[in-house]
Chains A and B, each alone.
Chain A
């Protein structure tokens, strides 16, 4: 009788897929991934609230925790080891430029370039914006209902930012992801829409509103939300804000096995940096793909299982019928 198991060699994989989910900065709550419960998810449809960032390149983990020796005796011999510091780094390159990948790969806050008001004075991170418009009732995550005159100010291909007016509050701002930390009250009523992650692409429109290519990350617009057109994105070298996200990296092996690297808290550890990769290796000076370089520092969480401080969880789901 043929054996119904096999000895699986080390996993063989072609690439790594990345998923990120926002840490609730106000409550300092990361998003947890349970490989036992969620490990079988379709790579194209991650469980909420994880956001698929696609395949990544050059994924490299670097443990940087330091240990020291406790010595005893003459001559001294190692009695035991103690973990002195806890540190881990993750580096990789994003294969696309989007609002989210840019934000993740920058060391500071990431902003939307709001469409400027007519005749506004130039500013490095976007001039005074054209006035925001108010969504009407009946809006959903993929359709923003507008008055006909407001809808006419947009066109298919417009990018929009949807969030509330800034009214002088301090602390973390932006929904559903904290886009910035305001230390002292500002005067720009559009500031939250400048930093919000609640953006989308208009795929078509009519006199009743805008249809979006993908759902807004924050779902249907909140009651007090307004929207403005976005012309692009900007980030700065400098500043004091650190992005913080929960991250999940998946390696799918050739036999269906899966390796997960789950970092509950990941912060950018360096400023924005790009890598140029020539499209044709024989023509180094020719066309090159510009990749966003992500360099991250893992921060610890306390595992409620036993109270240990943890930077990363590595899980392995073996291939079906593989010996363990």
Chain B
């Protein structure tokens, strides 16, 4: 499933750079697109604002098929306090902007599966695919608005996986 997880993240990251190239994060001294995988970074005391954070949850396997199918739930968490220049009064607009970017990033609902342990990444035979996101309610915490979207991600296990 790791190849599928990597492929989803890289697909969303690539799409985000086209949708909103200004959404970036300075992480470990490098400016990167504003999307990261929580389990692949040092633990956060508090999630960064204005960035998409991917968190992997449950896993299910269907062994009765010609190729084993794995399904893993991905939670995409994002939050915003708005901008300083507006005194945070635009936090609702900022979160709506992130909602729009998420919906644009998630389509199309598939991407080729690549093995990112190889250099350059090696194309595999199948595609990773997923459902429409299940958007959760806005959570208000003082001046911060956050939302979580859950996506079920599917992939077929190939030989060697």
Interface residues of A (CB under 8 A from B): 2-10, 12, 14, 254-256, 319-321, 323
Say which residue of B110, B158, B159, B160 sits within 8 Å of A254 (CB atoms).
B110
- A204 CA to B156 CA, complexed, in Å: 50
> A14, B125: Cβ atoms under 8 Å?
no
A-B contact pairs, 6 of them (CB 8 A): A2-B160, A7-B66, A7-B67, A9-B65, A9-B69, A14-B131
Q: Nearest Cβ distance between residue A254 and chain B, in whole angstroms?
A: 4
A8 to B158, CA, bound (A): 10
* Most A Cβ at <10 Å: residue of B129, B131, B156, B160: B156
Cross-interface CB contact of B66 among A2, A4, A9, cutoff 8 Å:
A9
B160 touches A6 (CB 8 A): no
Number of A-B contacts (CB under 8 A): 39
Q: Pick the contact of A321: B66, B69, B125 (CB < 8 A).
A: B125
CB distance from B114 to the nearest CB of A (A): 14
What residues make up the interface of B, taking CB atoms closer than 8 Å to A?
65-67, 69, 109-110, 125-127, 129, 131, 154, 156, 158-160
CB distance from A130 to the nearest CB of B (A): 43
Q: A182 vs B41: C-alpha distance in the bound complex, in angstroms?
A: 73
Contact of A256 with B127 at beta-carbon distance under 8 Å, contacts A2-B159, A3-B159 already known: yes
Find chain A residues with CB under 8 A from B66 CB: 7-9, 323
Min Cβ gap B7→A in Å is 13
Q: Which of chain B's residues have a CB closer than 8 A to the CB of A14?
A: 109, 131
Q: Are B156 and A9 in contact (CB under 8 A)?
A: yes
- Measured between alpha carbons, how far is A223 from B124 in the docked complex, in Å? 56
- List chain B residues, Cβ under 8 A from A2: 158-160
Name B125's contact: one of A5, A10, A12, A254 (CB within 8 Å): A5
Minimum CB distance partner of B131 in chain A: A14
Sample of 7 more A-B contacts, CB < 8 Å, known A6-B67, A9-B67, A319-B126: A2-B160, A7-B66, A8-B67, A9-B66, A9-B156, A14-B109, A254-B154
Say yes or no: B127 contacts A6, CB within 8 Å. Answer: no
C-alpha gap A14/B111 in the complex (Å): 15
Which of B126, B131, B154 has the most A CB atoms < 10 Å from its CB?
A: B126
> Is there an interface contact between A254 and B67, defined as CB atoms closer than 8 Å?
no
Residue in A closest to B66 when the chains form the complex, CB atoms: A7
Q: Which residues of B contact A8 (CB under 8 A)?
A: 66-67, 156
Name the residue of chain B whose CB is nearest to the CB of A13. B129
Tell me the complex Cα distance, A321–B129, Å: 17
A254, B127: Cβ atoms closer than 8 Å: yes
**Residues on the B chain within 8 Å of A256, using CB:** 127
Q: A254: which B residues are within 8 A, CB to CB?
A: 110, 127, 129, 154
Pair B129/A12 contact, Cβ less than 8 Å: yes
Q: Is the CB of A6 within 8 A of B158?
A: yes
Which residues from chain A contact B129 at a C-beta distance below 8 Å? 12, 254
Taking CB atoms, residues of chain A closer than 8 Å to B160 are 2
Q: Which residues of A contact B110 (CB under 8 A)?
A: 254
Chain A nearest CB, measured from B160 CB (Å): 5
Give bound CA distance, A256 to B154, whole Å: 14
Known: A2-B159, A6-B158. A255 touches B69 (CB 8 A): no
Chain B residues lying within 8 Å of A320, measured Cβ to Cβ, are 125
Cα–Cα distance between A5 and B67 once the two chains are bound (Å): 11
Cα A320 to Cα B103 in complex, Å, equals 28
